[in-house]
Structure 1
Amino acid sequence: MERWNTHLSSSVEIPLFGSEVRLSQTPSSMNLGTTVWDASICLAKYLEKCSRKGELSRANVRGKQGIELGAGPGLAGMAFCVLGGDILLTDLPEILPLLSKNVDANLSAAALRGREGVWDPGDVRVQLLDWNSASDIQAAGGPFRYVLAADCVYHEEHVEALCNVMLALTDLKSTVLIANELRSESVQSRFMEVFHSAFAIKKIPLSKLHVDYRHPSILLYMLKRRKKQ
């Protein structure tokens, strides 16, 4: 597929909400969380596309609490913030310096002075969250009205941990958005199997994604908690 980010540069610029998000990345790193992956771009542009009406409109999102899991460079969560939501960007300790750098570059008071009249973002925080740490999950708070995750599961053994942390951070009012690039049929099958038991899963049709930022191999899902029987 044609990549929107070459993964070779130390920075990437994504047009978003009438301006640009400028993100640092570390393509030479062995850690997958330091790169802006296409699924996160797809999710961010979907949020932009939905900003005028519907559940993800600016009017509905403004002031709502959101969290991004496995935020990496932070694109999807920052898009939610620019939409007007209050976002908690989370990842592992080795990712947080890059994530904080990108937040400062785009959403600090100094950065926003150059975007007056264009962006009116909500609040943003960066915090450690290891999916296997009960204390990290408790410290995150919740339940959150919106939960975002983009390309943060590469192996089958991570799927259950992601589902468990989402259950801990959501309630029946929560909306979960997960964007995945289809790389492994076994991981995708495990994802559907594990999440289906606790969440109603709706696949967003390709036609509903941003016309310039969509691809059949990038799958976007909207999830809602199932009521307990």
Structure 2
Amino acid sequence: MLSDDLGDKLGIWKPELTTTKAEESTLETTKAAGKPTADDKNATKQRKMRDRSELVPYTFAGRSLRIREIQVSMEEEVGYKVWHAGEAFCEYLDGGNLDLVDKTILELGAGTGIVGIVASLMGADVTLTDLREVLWNLEENVRRNTEGCRHTPKVQELTWGKGLDRFSDKSYDFIIGTDIIYFEELHRDLIFTIKQLSRPHTRVLLCHYPRWPSRDKRFLELLQKDFDIVNQCKFLTARLFEAKRISKR
């Protein structure tokens, strides 16, 4: 197990997080009362997660990778483990199916970061995003495995449907996601996010493990209100489909 100050030793960057005056006031009140703050609770949670984590070896893009994974159940935070679709998507990229050199990629729900890491190793300019609570592990995995990449990968916080203006001035060649349609209650926010951050030329590539065909069908029907499904296939144990925004007529 790696020590708690690994991030400091590696010089891992942290996303810039801002707080409102109301949040600062609440934080000061909590500290004054001697109660644990949200940061304290997060630090405790991270220590517990490190205790049940391991560095799992993978080989993609001609590199030996070590990805920190944490044993979780499907009811817990799913962003700490490489799932079947993640490995399948990495195999797909590693097989040379896409020309990624100098392409800009936005990854949604990056989780452990393995797919974005492989894309970065293959020459892409990658921005990996996920919820704040998983960024510490995502950042460590990215820093540990992307030395010498053509473009330095970026890690940013992104909650689907919120704060999208921080990304709206950028143009991405690809928007990718792996096993991100698992929670049906997030489908609308996910599709809204993809729509807002894509351009007519953007290729949207989503890879998932087909657990519930009826749920997957409902997602695709919702997606097709704004996107054309231009290609779909089965790859290893996963399904991969490509979508592009419907041109305004």
Which TM-score band (shorter chain)? 0.7 to 0.9
Residues 233 and 241 of structure 2 are in contact (CA less than 8 Å); yes or no, is this contact kept in structure 1? Answer: no
Corresponding residue of 1:138: 165
Cα gap change, 1:95/1:9 in structure 2, threshold over 3 Å: closer, same or farther?
Answer: closer
Matched, 1:48 2:77: no
Normalised by the length of structure 2, the TM-score is: 0.73
SS at match of 1:205: strand
Correspondence 1:52-201 to 2 at 5 A = 56-57=98-99, 61-108=100-147, 112=148, 120-133=149-162, 135=163, 137-141=164-168, 142-201=170-229
Q: Report the aligned-residue RMSD.
A: 1.8
The structure showing larger relative contact order (alpha-carbon pairs under 8 Å, at least 6 residues apart) is 1
C-alpha displacement at 1:44, in angstroms? 1.3
Paired amino acid for 1:16: F
| Identity fraction in percent | 28
Could you tell me how far apart the structure 2 residues matched to 1:50 and 1:187 are? 30
Could you tell me how far apart the structure 1 residues matched to 2:187 and 2:69 are? 25
Could you tell me how far apart the structure 2 residues matched to 1:67 and 1:20 are? 23
After superposition, the C-alpha distances for 1:168-220 in whole angstroms (9 at most, x for unaligned) are 111111011100111122320211111111111144433xx4xxxx12xx110
Could you tell me how far apart the structure 2 residues matched to 1:183 and 1:96 are? 26
Residues 159 and 190 of structure 1 are in contact (CA less than 8 Å); yes or no, is this contact kept in structure 2? Answer: no
Could you tell me how far apart the structure 1 residues matched to 2:247 and 2:118 are? 30
C-alpha displacement at 1:9, in angstroms? 6.5
Residues 143 and 168 of structure 1 are in contact (CA less than 8 Å); yes or no, is this contact kept in structure 2? Answer: no
Matched, 1:228 2:245: no
Could you tell me how far apart the structure 1 residues matched to 2:247 and 2:152 are? 31
Could you tell me how far apart the structure 2 residues matched to 1:195 and 1:67 are? 18
Paired amino acid for 1:128: E
Corresponding residue of 1:5: none
SS at match of 1:87: strand
Name the count of aligned residue pairs. Answer: 195
Corresponding residue of 1:23: 67
Normalised by the length of structure 1, the TM-score is: 0.79
**Unaligned ranges ≥5, structure 1:** 1-7, 113-119
After superposition, the C-alpha distances for 1:43-87 in whole angstroms (9 at most, x for unaligned) are 111111125xxxx22xxx222211100000001111111111100
C-alpha displacement at 1:122, in angstroms? 2.3
Paired amino acid for 2:156: Q
Residues 72 and 78 of structure 2 are in contact (CA less than 8 Å); yes or no, is this contact kept in structure 1? Answer: no
SS at match of 1:228: coil
Could you tell me how far apart the structure 2 residues matched to 1:95 and 1:103 are? 12
Could you tell me how far apart the structure 2 residues matched to 1:184 and 1:36 are? 19
Residues 25 and 73 of structure 1 are in contact (CA less than 8 Å); yes or no, is this contact kept in structure 2? Answer: yes
Paired amino acid for 2:245: R
C-alpha displacement at 1:157, in angstroms? 1.5
